[in-house]
Amino acid sequence: MSDKEFPPPVKYLDDRLGIAKIGRKNLRKVFPDHWSFMLGEIALYSFIILILTGIFLTFWFKPSMGEVEYQGSYSLLKGLHMSEAYASTLDITFDVRGGLLMRQIHHWAAVLFIAAMMVHLLRIFFTGAFRKPRELNWVIGFTMLFLGIIEGFIGYGLPDDLLSGTGLRITQGMIGASPVIGTYLNFFIFGGEFPGDDFVSRFFTIHVLLIPGLILALVTVHLFLVVYHKHTQYAGPGRTAKNVVGYPLFPVYTAKAGGFFFVVFGITALMGALLQINPVWLYGPYNPAEVTAGSQPDWYMGWLEGSVRIMPGFESHFWGITLSWNLIIPALLIPPAFVTLVALYPFIEGWITGDKREHHLLDRPRNMPTRTGIGAAFITFYALLWIGGGNDLIATHFGLSLNNVTWFLRFAVFIGPVLAFWVVRRVAISLQRADNDRLMHGLETGVIVRSPEGKYTEKHAPISNYEAYSLTAHDRMLPLDIGPETDDNGVRAPRRALNKLRARLSRFYYADAIQKPTTHELEAAHEHAHDSDEIHDISETETYREVTSDRS
Amino acid sequence: MSDENLPAVKADEEHSQVQVAEPIPDPGIEPHEYRITDIDPKAADRVERQVSAMFTLAGLLALGSCVAYFAIPRDSTIAFGPLSGNANNMIIGLCIGLALFLLGAGAIQWAKKLMVDEEISEDRHPAHSSPEQIADISDAFKQGVAESGFTRRKLIRRGLFTGLGLLGLPAIVLLRDLGPLPGRALFNTIWAKGIRVVNDVTDRPIKPSDMIVGQLVNAAPANLAPLQEESPVEYQNAKAKAAVIVVRIKPSEIRTPPGRENWGVDGILCYSKICTHVGCPISLYEQTTHHVLCPCHQSTFDLADGAKVVFGPAARPLPQLPLAVDAEGYLVAQSGFTEPVGPSFFERG
């Protein structure tokens, strides 16, 4: 039945490339199915959309700060002096058919690209998909997020309108606060004083060549590693650490993932057609002496903006130098520290737990309460800074005092994450308890039975074997044991202090987590239930519907 | 299925999990459940028609976008509540967007409803190499190292590292001409003794009598405008530092910092417009409190009190420009700014 020979064009390729060898392994490669696995896909597809629409824009955009007098069809700015960059952006918007559409799709896709990467990162974090052997892929993914944010910000600066120029002025001010090298960095980046006439052409090259090239290379490695490691899967019946259960790449995922690309492209195109974004023609050309009230960067810069906004104004002057703590701390220390912590998280957690095994089964967030709490703390910190980036809008929209909003946030960024950690961790632990209840006592049926002695009990139905297995298919977590202080010969173990710290962290990491029941406990619970008539299969006549009708 | 490397029962003495017998044994993959389209050929045919309709409609919409491109004048508009804008743009976008969406939705519907949906299982293999592969590659590597003499010939090695290392230098040095050295550029503006203060929109010089109490005027030095013809870049750079605000406050409400007693003219004071935080032009003035607010990060300065910071992340007051009146009665600068304007920088002092 199977063909021994390829059709001629495929044979031509196989003779030269050996495609059968590669295809044999991968054509029917299995991918597991879950909605949360499409987040990374959205990021990938928006990146492709960005490249396609970006190429279109480069055909008309003039990356030059040379001054011209605008003579295009937007009458409100006619005759104004502006840079060629801004004038050509107006031309794309008003004189190139489909130009505004492409600009808006490009901007929406950029916003979506970064949002999808972030949510994808959160999915990976909360399910523990970053654990061995995927730590390096986490770092690669993180690097892409970092590059994506820079790429987005630089792209935002290219049209040279009033808003983008203000954003650059702020960045320039932050760079200038770097001790020792700040002023020099600025003069080299901007070709002298701000604004100068160099940055648009320089940023353009970085925006269309350097960073996209890097991201493209990293995407390739990222996807190669996904194929090599094979996709992680959620625990469930038949799903083990040694297999991957799902649908084949060809044809199911070819159709699903390929189709999903068009869905994402379609939605961004509709957004580009119907939802206005960054109307640069309203802002006018950049003028270093003007600014609009309520200036806002794109959403992903909001947390940096907030960090800078809520910092009190401290500055030191000594020995003829100035140290601007009001910028060094919120712009040059906290954000890098935050992102470094995120980038290194897999290694930190791996060290604390001492877990060196490969993991291919995903954690349910509740089963790792401390990690989930840490994630919540990070999100809260980020979100509070992000809110800080709009403190003026919050004040005006809700009729609050700007100063009070700012003061609230100054404290909240410290207290909020701690609270979030504690609350979320406790919630996760409660959910673990609920799982154990479900396992040991079954499902509450709502059927209340009165015994001859007059005792009321609720009948419990056992959960299915498949569900019971899914609920228990995770590791039993115990803190790291660092062994005795001294060995049999009385020799002290090496690096004792470090290991003690590690053991303490590990105890903290697993403290209070609920262990799944043992075989024995489970049997005992079921035994007890049968004795006390607690667990019951619902009989033919006892349905959930009857219960409700009984009550009414 | 091979057991090599996959999550071991006990990988080494460091890992912290204790293996207790699993409470529930793995029941294996759930039995496959048939979809309506697997059982009922009519349902399957219906889905086929749906998918084919979506694909066809996508094609028609793609054609439609081309028609719209040529048929709709580029300056026509649609006004439909929040969905208003350029008609050409919107219709092309709607057609393309819907076409793409339908193409994708059709493919997904096909996959979900018609393609075989029986889950299959594939074995995983360890990420690491097998001991034989490791032995092979380390032998090959050692052989290569030995054949090159890399470890034996220290001189070559040192030379190679020196050469490679020093080649990093030109990579950095060649970037030197990205920009001039800062020098004293950030310490100076084009303000100087006798330069008139002009309105930054009309370029007209300002007389004290032109200003009423409570008024704030955005202003510039008179020597700024001529720069625009000469060199647009110099003009922008000079403007980024020289922009000022002139404000008239009731003299009784002014608290003058020591040494600035004669810097104002009849309650008219002049401050740099460039925020001392990160350099945004401050612009929101509240007459009753004499506060001016930077819209970027909400630093607030009290213009009646030496423009000192009353709130926000800025650390220094706005620099003040000493004013005087020239022979013709116009406001002029007594001198340039006495300190650098704009955001702080390391060498500022």
A418 belongs to a structural domain:
no
Residues A111 and A185 in one domain: yes
pLDDT above 70: percentage of residues in chain A: 95
Domain that holds residue A104: 32-363
CB within 8 Å: A259 and B313: no
Give whole-number Cα distances, A528 to A450, A453, A532, in Å.
Answer: 19, 19, 6
Nearest CB among B21, B99, B233 relative to A197 is that of B233
Pick the last residue of a domain from A325, A347, A363: A363
Q: Does A182 map to a domain? A: yes
Kindly report, residue by residue over A204-218, the tens digit of the pLDDT. 999 999 999 999 999
Instruction: Give the C-alpha distances (Å, rounded to integers) separating A342 from A122, A335, A339, A375.
Output: 11, 11, 5, 10
Residue of A242, A249, A253, A440 to mutate, testing the B interface (most B Cβ within 10 Å of its Cβ):
A242
Question: Which of A222-226, A414-418, A488-492, B156-160 shows the lowest mean pLDDT across its residues?
Answer: A488-492
Q: Tell me what the mean pLDDT of segment A377-402 comes to.
A: 92
Nearest Cβ partner for A247 among B97, B119, B278: B119
The stretch A432-456 carries a mean pLDDT of 89
Inter-chain residue contact B344 with A315, CB threshold 8 Å: yes
The predicted structure's pLDDT at residue A524: 85
Does position B10 have pLDDT exceeding 60, yes or no? Answer: no
Q: What is the mean pLDDT of residues A170-191?
A: 93
Residue A546 has pLDDT above 90, yes or no: no
pLDDT at A550: 42
The enclosing H or E element of A83 equals strand A81-83
Judged by a CB distance cut-off of 8 A, whether residue A370 touches chain B is no
Give the integer Cα–Cα distance in Å for A158 and B48.
47
Residue located via tokens 């439609």: B64
ipTM of this model?
Answer: 0.90
Domain final residue, candidates A325, A346, A363: A363
Which residues of chain A are within 8 Å of residue B71 when distances are taken between CB atoms?
none
Residue B4 banded pLDDT, cuts 50, 70, 90 = very low
Instruction: For residue range B39-74, list pLDDT tens digits in order.
Output: 999 999 999 999 999 999 999 999 999 999 999 998
Min Cα distance B158 → chain A (Å) is: 32
> What distances in angstroms separate CA B328 from CA A62, A248, B208, B222, one per listed residue?
47, 87, 11, 15
Same domain, yes or no, for A450 and A542?
yes
**What stretch of H or E contains A62?**
none
State the smallest CA–CA distance between residue A175 and chain B in angstroms: 9
Residues sharing a CB contact under 8 Å with residue A333, sequence separation 6 or more, in sequence order: none
pTM of the model: 0.91
- Within-domain flag for A387: no
Residue A160 lies in a domain: yes
CB count within 10 Å of CB A152 equals 23
- Please tell me if residue B129 touches chain A, with a CB cutoff of 8 Å: no
Contact yes or no for A243 and B122 at CB 8 A: yes
| pLDDT for the residue B199 | 93
What is the overall mean pLDDT for chain A? Answer: 90
* Within a domain: A170: yes
Q: Are A351 and A472 contained in the same domain? A: no
Question: Which overall architecture, per CATH, does domain B185-348 show?
Answer: 3-layer Sandwich (2.102)
Tokens representing B5 are 């490397």
Q: Average pLDDT for residues B11-25, to the nearest whole number?
A: 56
Tell me the mean pLDDT in the region A16-25.
Answer: 87
Query: Is B101's CB within 8 Å of A267's CB?
Result: yes
pLDDT for A489? 77
Indicate whether A377 belongs to any domain: no
Q: Is the dihedral of CA A187, A190, A191, A196 positive or negative?
A: negative
- What residue segments make up the domains of chain B, in order of their start? 36-113, 185-348
Read off the pLDDT of each residue in A279-305 and give the average, rounded to a whole number.
88
CB contact under 8 A, B97 and A287: no
Q: Cβ distance A159 to A138 under 8 Å?
A: no
Q: How many Å apart are CA B181 and CA A173, to the nearest integer?
A: 17
Contact pairs from chain A to chain B, CB under 8 Å? 392
pLDDT, one tens digit per residue, over B144-180 is: 999 998 888 999 999 999 999 999 999 999 999 999 9
Question: pLDDT band for position A532 (50/70/90)?
Answer: low
User: 3-class DSSP state for residue B17?
Assistant: coil
Q: Per-residue pLDDT for B112 more than 70?
A: yes
Give the nearest chain B residue to A521 (CA atoms).
B23
Q: Which residues pair with A246 in a beta bridge?
A: B120
Confidence of residue B12 (pLDDT cuts 50, 70, 90): very low
Concatenating the DSSP letter of every residue in A17-61 gives H-HHHHHHHHTT-EE---GGGGHHHHHHHHHHHHHHHHHHHHTT-
The CB density around residue B152, as the number of other CB atoms within 10 Å, is 10
Question: What pLDDT does A537 receive?
Answer: 55
Dist CA B306 CA B292 (whole Å): 12
Residues 6+ apart with CB under 8 A from B117: A247, A252, B32, B35
Question: What's the rounded Cα separation, in Å, for the pair A186 and A173?
Answer: 9
* Mean pLDDT of all residues belonging to chain B: 90
Could you say which of B5, B98, B185 has the minimum Cβ distance to residue A266? B98
Would you say A295 and A373 are in contact if contact means Cβ atoms under 8 Å apart? Answer: no
Number of domains into which chain A is organized: 2
Distance CA(B301)–CA(A430), nearest Å, equals 51
Nearest CA-CA distance, residue A484 and chain B, Å: 13
Judge: B346–A321 Cβ closer than 8 Å, yes or no. yes
Residue of A nearest to B73 (CA): A97
Check CB contact of A194 with chain B, cutoff 8 Å: yes
Q: Please report the residues numbered 3 through 32 in chain B whose beta carbons come closer than 8 angstroms to any beta carbon of chain A.
A: 3, 5-8, 11-30
- The structure tokens 């959930």 sit at A544
Contact, A374 vs A356, CB < 8 A? no
DSSP states of B207-239: -GGG--TT-EEEEEETTTHHHHHH-HHHHHHHH
Q: What is the pLDDT of residue B349?
A: 80
> Token pair for residue B218?
């955005």
Last residue of a domain, one of A311, A338, A363: A363
Q: Which two tokens stand for residue A530?
A: 């049968």
Count other Cβ atoms within 10 Å, centred on residue B35: 15
Residue A452 lies in a domain: yes
- pLDDT of the residue at B21: 64
Q: Say yes or no: A451 and A356 in one domain.
A: no
Q: For the residues B18-28, what does the mean pLDDT come to?
A: 75
Measured in angstroms, the CA of B51 and the nearest CA of chain A are apart by: 12
* C-alpha distances in Å from residue A454, one per residue of A214, A457, A532: 74, 10, 14
Which of A 479-518 lie inside 8 A of B, CB atoms?
479-481, 483, 506, 510, 516-518
Question: Do A359 and A452 lie in a common domain?
Answer: no
The answer to whether the CB atoms of B97 and A273 lie below 8 A apart is yes
Using the predicted structure, report yes or no on whether residue A539 has a pLDDT greater than 70: no
In chain B, the residue whose alpha carbon lies closest to the alpha carbon of A33 is: B119
* Cα dihedral B336→B337→B343→B348 (10° resolution): 100
pLDDT digits (tens, 9 = 90+) for B254-273: 999 999 989 999 999 999 99
- Give A119-165 pLDDT, tens digit per residue: 999 999 999 999 999 999 999 999 999 999 999 999 999 999 999 99
Of B210, B219, B193, the closest CA to residue B324 belongs to: B193
Measure in Å the smallest separation between the Cα of A379 and chain B Cα atoms.
23
**Burial of A76: CB neighbours in 10 Å, binned 0-12, 13-18, 19+:** exposed
- Does residue A394 contact residue B302 with C-beta atoms inside 8 Å? no
Segment A223-237 mean pLDDT: 94
Give which of B175, B275, B220 is closest to A172, Cα–Cα.
B275
- Report pLDDT for B69: 95
Integer Cα distance of A480 and A353 in angstroms: 6
Report in angstroms the alpha-carbon separations of B209 from A51, B206, B248, B253, B333: 59, 8, 10, 19, 17
- Does residue A527 have a pLDDT over 70? yes
Contact indicator for A304, A404 with CB cutoff of 8 Å: no
Residue B43 φ/ψ region, left for φ over 0, alpha for ψ in the -120 to 50 degree band, beta for the rest:
alpha
Q: Identify the bridge partners of residue B281 per DSSP, sorted by sequence position.
A: B274
In chain B, residues 154-173 whose CB comes closer than 8 Å to chain A: none
B320's CB contacts (< 8 A; 6+ apart) are B260, B263, B269, B270, B271, B272, B306, B307, B337
Looking at the structure, do residues A324 and A443 belong to the same domain, yes or no? no
> Does residue A447 lie within any of the structural domains?
yes
> What pLDDT score does A458 carry?
85
A350 — contact with chain B (CB < 8 Å)?
Answer: no
The residue among B101, B37, B345 whose CA lies nearest residue A179 is: B345
Burial of A427 (0-12, 13-18, 19+ CB in 10 A): middle
Q: What confidence score (pLDDT) does residue A444 get?
A: 85
Q: Which of A164, A172, A243 should be substituted to probe chain B, the one whose Cβ sees the most B Cβ atoms within 10 Å?
A: A243
Q: Which residues of B187-203 are buried (b: 16+ CB within 10 A; e: fewer)?
A: bbbbbeeebbbbebeee
Q: Which of A95, A237, A291 sits opposite B29 (nearest CB)?
A: A237
**Are the Cβ atoms of A173 and B92 closer than 8 angstroms?**
no
Q: Is A149 helix (H, G, I), strand (E, B) or coil?
A: helix
Same domain, A334 and A480: no
Token pair of A526, please?
């079921």
CATH number at residue A131: 1.20.810.10
- Please give the Cα distance from A303 to A297 (Å, whole number): 10
The residue-averaged pLDDT of A103-114 equals 97
Q: Which residues of A49-65 are buried (b: 16+ CB within 10 A; e: fewer)?
A: bbbebbebbeebbbbbb
Q: Which residue blocks in chain B are alpha helix, DSSP H?
A: 36-39, 41-71, 87-113, 131-148, 154-173, 225-230, 232-242
Contacts of A100 in chain B (CB under 8 A): 86, 89
The structure tokens 């040279």 sit at: A160
Q: Is B317 left (phi over 0), alpha (psi -120 to 50) or beta?
A: beta
Q: Mark whether A141 and A261 lie in a shared domain.
A: yes
C-alpha neighbours within 13 Å on the C-beta side of residue A30: 17
Three state DSSP letters for B116-148: CCCCEEEECCCCCCCHHHHHHHHHHHHHHHHHH
Arithmetic mean of pLDDT, A306-316: 92
Distance CA A224, CA A137 (A): 10
Kindly determine whether residue A239 and residue B111, on different chains, have CB atoms separated by under 8 Å.
no
- Cβ–Cβ below 8 Å for B97 and A255: no
- Which A residues, 261 through 320, put their C-beta within 8 Å of a C-beta on chain B? 261-274, 276, 287-295, 305, 308-315, 317, 320
Judge if A307 and A442 occupy the same domain. no
- Joined together, the tokens standing for residue A299 give 């959403």
pLDDT at B9: 42
